[in-house]
Amino acid sequence: MTDKIFYFIIPQPEESLEKKMQEIFGQYLDTEDDKLIFFGNGKKSGDIFYTFWDSHKVEMIVKELKLLEIVFMYKDITVDVLMGAQDNQSEFVRTFTKEEAKMQLSIFLKKNQTKDNILDKIRIKGIESLTELEMEILENT
């Protein structure tokens, strides 16, 4: 499990590029990484997905996709997730209400959430914005 979460939008490529994309992902990812990708529409062919992949792997994949001139967007959303900014994003909420995705997100938050992040969230959004996990972290630190 990584300490980052990434958001990707990769529109379905032309058929000629699809095989090359599969090769790129296959080159940098292993079977464990397959458990750390969650598609926005719940289908593996989805345009939108979230990953907990290692930053180096993401950088290499992004570099290769750019070389192929594939139009895509990606963003490190780690801070947004830790601060609760994604809580109002319908695609994120829909994706992470599914049991397996919810479990991976919980593991990620338990590993990466800090007291400082939580105090910043309280300052910005108020104490009522805290989740049970964040309250637990505050109580235990």
Q: What is the pLDDT of residue 85?
A: 87
Sign of CA dihedral 77, 108, 12, 98: negative
pTM value is: 0.86
Q: What is the pLDDT of residues 35-93, one digit of tens each?
A: 999 998 656 556 899 999 999 999 999 999 999 888 899 999 999 999 988 888 889 99
DSSP secondary structure of 118-135:
HHHHHHHH-GGG--HHHH
Instruction: Write down the domain spans for the chain.
Output: 6-140
